[in-house]
Amino acid sequence: MNTEPPAWENEPLIIPDGNCPHENFQAFVGVPRIMDRDYPNAKPKHFKAEIIIKCVQCGGNFMFKGLPRVISCDEVGTGASGCQASLPIIPWDGTLAGKITVKMP
């Protein structure tokens, strides 16, 4: 099992160019599996989607607004920079998630 982080996680953060129109983006998504125990046949206890978004034109990182600075297997959050979102996920069980609230600016 490969335990090394993906290459995009180790890239330095880049401040976006203020003159760039930011028209094209690249998203990097990793899904780490957090195991219950360190046994060969252990099942994952937690899953997370880790997301980084960059502007293709200037290479600048984008921050996630509205997410707390939290590193947790059970809570949505970002790291210290705010440029990597961490979202707890589970396998879908076929049910609907419930009421949807729509908020528009």
Contact yes or no for 45/67 (Cβ under 8 A): no
Model pTM? Answer: 0.76
Measured CA to CA, the distance from residue 12 to residue 82 in angstroms comes to 14
Closest CA to 27 of 53, 49, 5, 50: 53
Q: pLDDT in tens for each of the 105 residues of the chain?
A: 344 555 656 788 999 999 999 999 999 999 988 887 777 777 888 889 999 999 999 999 999 999 999 888 888 999 889 999 999 998 888 887 677 788 887
Neighbouring C-beta atoms of residue 55, cutoff 10 Å: 19
Beta strands, E only, the chain: 25-30, 33-35, 44-55, 77-78, 84-89
